[in-house]
Amino acid sequence: MPENMNAESFSLDYTKVAAPYVRLVSETKGVNGDQVNKYDIRFKQPNQEHMDMPGLHSIEHLMAESICVHLDNVLDIGPMGCQTGFYLSVLNNDSYEEITDALEKTLQDVLTADEVPACNEEQCGWAANHSLDGAKTIAEAMLKRKDEWNQVYAP
């Protein structure tokens, strides 16, 4: 495997990870002392399974709206192109426990949602491609395995 790739995710051996997990990808210090922490929130086992696009799209909308209620200083949460997880970037928060606690609460919010926020042509670039039930299925599966989130590699 090539070393020193510019994207950290390309240096991870996906044949050795065991999803689901939440792992710290990087800590970047700004010139003024601020720190951005980026997390890999892996829902599905790479190269073996993936989230279907309507469910992934809907859980993206739901998490983007909800996680900010549970976690201060969220910069961004966005899906991975491989459809196996999300990246979460936060400012000045290096508490793994706070991150996973906020993620758990956010996924609980998905389970109780009655609708997908911003699921219309004015606010979404592909408004016809959503599934609230799909989002709930994804959230439920991730929550069922919460005790595994801190373990990136199989024992």
Model confidence over 81-119: pLDDT tens digits? 999 999 999 999 999 999 999 999 999 999 999 999 999
Q: Is 72 left (phi over 0), alpha (psi -120 to 50) or beta?
A: beta
Binding site feature residues for Fe cation: 57, 61, 124
Q: Are 94 and 45 in contact (CB under 8 A)?
A: no
- What confidence tens digit (pLDDT) does each residue in 139-149 have? 999 999 999 99
Mean of the per-residue pLDDT values of the chain? 94
pTM: 0.93
User: Would you kindly state where each structural domain of the chain is located, as residue ranges?
Assistant: 8-148
- Cα dihedral angle (20, 26, 32, 33), rounded to 10 degrees? 80
Binding site residues, as ranges?
57, 61, 124
Superfamily of domain 8-148: S-ribosylhomocysteinase (LuxS) (3.30.1360.80)
Token pair 């976690």 in the structure block, residue: 71
Among candidate residues 38, 47, 115, the one with its CA nearest the CA of residue 76: 38
